[in-house]
Structure 1
Amino acid sequence: MKLPSHSRYAPSAIPTRPTYRWPNGASLAVVVCNNIEHFAYRAGMGSDSAQPNAPQSFRNYAWRDYGNRVGLWNMLEMLDELQIPSAHNVNSAALDYMPEIAEALRKRGDEFIGHGRSNAERQDTMWEEDERRLIIETRDAITRHAGVAPTGWLGPYLAQSHVTLDLLREEGFRYMMDLPADDQPFWMATRAGPILSVPYSIELNDSPAMVFRQHSGREFADMIVDQFDEMLEQSARRPLVCSVVLHTFVVGQPFRLRPLRAALRHILGHRDRIWLCRPGELAAYAAGLPRGVVPGSEMLDSEMPGPEMLGG
C-alpha cells in the first residue's frame, strides 16, 4: 500500500542518531516560548474561554485582548523575576496595535518570531501569492518594530499549505516551529534550500491544555514538571529540547500565573544541568554542528546555512 507522503524530511528513529551536547555540556535545552496575538473584532478566527467553536463576539475579543493589556505584562514581570530569557511568537498586528509591546521585548533582549499578521486568519487556505504576501508583510512589520528581521516562524494555528516551507525559506526565514514531530531539531528540504525544524510542543502548550481540554492552571504546571523531569532523565542518553508554550491571555491570568511560576522555579532548580535558551540560539547552535549530526544535514550538505545566518 502506498500512502500519500511528502519529501520534506526522511524517517529517523531517535535512538539511531549521533549524540551531541548543548553549550556548557548540557544534554537538555529548555525553551520558554510566549505567543502575543491580536484578533479581528467580531470577525475571522479566534478561540473562546467558555466553549469551542463559539462565534466571534465582543466578549471573546475582549478576553483575548486581556493578553495584550494585562496578561503579557504579568508574564514579563514573572520572567524578569526568574531571570528567564524568552522568545515571543508575535502577530505583526499586535505590534502595530500596541507599540509598547515591542519596546518591552527589545528592552529584555528577547527574540521576535514571525507568527503571521493576525490569528484571525490562517495561511493554509491561501493562494501562493497571497501567502507570500502574508509572510512578507509579517516579516517587514516585525523588522520595523524589532529593529532586526526575524529568522524564525510559527504559523497561526500551526497551519501550512504545500508551499509554506518554500516561501519561508525564500523570504529569509531559517527555522520554523510548526511541526511537532521530534524532540530534537532536524533539517527539511525546500525548493530554496534547507530550513530547520525547532521542537515546539503542541502538548505542553497552555492553549490546547487549558482552553480546549479544560485542564486547570495547576494541572498544566504539573504537566510542565513531569515533562521536564522525564526529559531530564532521558537526556542522559541523547540531547533533547523541552519547550514550554504559553499565551498571554491564558496563563497571563493571575490564578494561572502562580502555579506556572512554581513550575518554572522547579526547572530553574536544575539550571546547572540545562541550557536555557531562545529558539534562534538553539537553531544557530544546531546549524554549527558537524554535517551528519542533525537529521537531514547529510542530504543537504552543499546548501546548509551557517550559524551566522540564524543569528548565531
Structure 2
Amino acid sequence: MADGTIGSSLRGRLDYQPIHQRPLLKLPDGARVAVWTIVNIENWQPTKPMPRTVLPPPMGQPLLPDVPNWAWHEYGMRVGFWRFHEVLSSRGLRASFALNGSCCELYPQACQAAFEAGWDFIGHGFVQQPMHRTADQKGAIAETIAAITKFTGRPPRGWESPGLTETDETLDFLAEAGIEYVADWVLDDQPVTLRSRAGNIVSVPYTVEINDVVMTAIQQAPADEIFRRGRDQFDRLYQEGKDIPRVMAISIHPYLTGVPHRIKYLEALYDYILGHDGVMMWTGAEILDWYKAQIRKDG
C-alpha cells in the first residue's frame, strides 16, 4: 500500500478533510447527534501481568498471580456488568458489546444477556493484550471472529483493538477478515473512510475522553466525572450538530463505572441525553449503515 506523504503509513490510510469542508451528512428526522455506548468486557489472565492495576504491589515487587487486581476486574463481570445491563435495558437502549473472543466461554451468561438484548457484538481481541504483543495477529483476529460467530450465529462487523493498539498491518488484517468498522482511530466527530489493501473500512468515532479507563483508572477523577464531562461533551456536540451532525461515544467497563458509587452518574448521563430531542441512540453497526447510505447517496 502506498505510504502517506509524511513518512507514516497511518497517514496513507485517509486524507485530511476538515469537518466543515465535506459533503453534508444528514441524520434521520433532522437529528443532531448519534450517541453510541460501548460496553467492554475482557479476559484478564491471572497468570500474566494485569492490563491495569488499582493496588500497587507490596514493596514495589510485582507478584503473580496478582489476586487483588485480577479480582478488581472480576468484580465487574460478576456484578458490575449486570448493573450496566439493567441501566441500558430499563431505558430501552442497546450497546455495542466489545468483547475478547475468549469471553464467550469465560462469561457465557453475560454474553447471552447481551445477545438477547440485541447488542452489537464487536471484536476486542481474543484476550486482553496489545496487538503489538500478539504473535499472530491474523490468527487472533480469526479466532475472535470465530468465537463470536459461534455464539451469536453471525460474524462481528466491528472491531476495537485492546487498548486501541494497532501495528501497521492490523487494519489490513481486519479488512481481509471481513471487519467493516473499527473504533481505534479516535480522530473525528463523524465516521470516516480508511483505506486498506483489502478495500475500504470505516472508522466510527470512539473516545478517549468519555471513557472510564481514562477518567477513572488513569486520571483518577471523582466518581461523577462521567456525568459532568459527558454532559459537557454532549452539549457542545448537540449545539454544533444543528449545522453538521456529530457522533458521540460513551465507553464503559464493568469494573470501573459498574461499581456502586459510580453507576448513578452513568444513569444521570443517559437521562440527561434522553431529555433532548434530535438524538439517535444507536449502536456502532447502525452508525456504520447510516454512514454508508449517506456516502452512497453523495457518491
Regarding TM over 0.5, the answer is yes
2:40 equivalent in structure 1: 35
Is the contact between residue 50 and residue 70 of structure 2 (CA under 8 Å) also seen in structure 1?
A: no
Per-residue CA deviation, residues 176-230 of structure 1 (Å, 9 max, x unaligned), is 0101010100101100100000000111101111111001121221001000011
Contact 1:32 1:244 in 2 (8 A): yes
- Share of identical aligned residues, percent? 32
Of 3, 9, 26, 2:14 maps to 9
Cα shift at 1:54: 8.9
Select which of 103, 114, 118 maps to 1:105: 114
SS at match of 1:124: helix
Q: TM-score, normalised by structure 1?
A: 0.88
Q: Which residue of 1 aligns with 2:184?
A: 178
Report the equivalent of 1:46: 51
Comparing 3-12 with 198-207, greater Cα deviation is found at 3-12
Question: What is the CA–CA distance in structure 1 between the aligned matches of 2:72 and 2:94, rounded to whole Å?
Answer: 26
Residues 238 and 137 from structure 1, CA distance in 2 versus in 1: closer, same or farther, beyond 3 angstroms?
same
Query: What SS class does the counterpart of residue 135 from structure 1 fall into?
Result: helix
Specify the alignment match of 2:283 in structure 1: 278
Task: Give secondary structure in 2 for the equivalent of 1:5.
Answer: coil
What's the CA shift string for 1:246-302, capped at 9, x where partnerless?
0111000011001111111000101x3111100001101111123485xxxx7xxxx
Q: Which runs of 5+ in 1 are unaligned?
A: 299-312
SS in 1 for 2:280: strand
The TM-score normalised by the length of structure 2 is 0.92
Query: Is contact 2:158–2:285 with CA below 8 Å preserved after alignment?
Result: yes
- Partners of 1:213 and 1:54 lie apart in 2 by 23
The residue that corresponds to 2:28 in the other structure is: 23
Return closer, same or farther for 1:75/1:166 CA change in 2, 3 Å cut-off.
Answer: same
Q: 1:51-70, aligned counterparts within 5 Å?
A: 55=62, 57-70=66-79
Secondary structure class of the residue paired with 2:166: coil
**Aligned mates of 1:224, 1:290 — CA distance in 2:** 29
Alpha-carbon separation, structure 2, partners of 1:38 and 1:144:
18
Please tell me whether the aligned partners of residues 40 and 254 of structure 2 are also in contact (alpha carbons under 8 angstroms).
yes
Partner of 1:309: none
Cα distance, 1:67–1:231 mapped onto 2, change above 3 Å: same
Deviation at 1:48, TM superposition (A): 1.2
Contact 2:160 2:182 in 1 (8 A): yes
Q: Give the aligned partner of residue 148 of structure 1.
A: 154
What pairs with 1:143-292 in structure 2 (closer than 5 Å)? 143-270=149-276, 272-291=277-296
Using the TM superposition, give the Cα deviation of residue 45 of structure 1 relative to its aligned residue in structure 2, in angstroms. 4.1
User: CA, structure 1 residues 241+157, in 2 after alignment: closer, same or farther (shift >3 Å)?
Assistant: same
Quote the Cα distance in structure 2 between the aligned partners of 1:68 and 1:94.
10
Q: 1: distance between equivalents of 2:100 and 2:6?
A: 35
Select 2:82's aligned residue among 73, 82, 90: 73
Residues 239/51 of structure 1: CA separation in 2 closer, same or farther (3 Å cut): farther
Tell me the amino acid that sits aligned with residue 201 of structure 2: I
Structure 2 residue matching 1:221: 3-state secondary structure? helix
1:301 is matched with which residue? none
- C-alpha distance after superposition, 1:10-30 (max 9, x if no partner): 111111112121123212111
- In structure 2, runs of 5+ residues without a counterpart are none
- For residue 294 of structure 2, give the secondary structure of its aligned residue in structure 1: coil
RMSD: 1.8
Q: Determine the structure 1 residue equivalent to 2:130.
A: 122
Q: Is the 8 A contact 1:181 1:199 kept in 2?
A: yes
Does the residue aligned with 1:85 lie in a helix, a strand or coil? coil
Deviations 1:84-139 (A, max 9, x none): 121110111222112112210111011101001111x2112445xx1000000000
Aligned length: 289
Amino acid aligned to 1:111: D
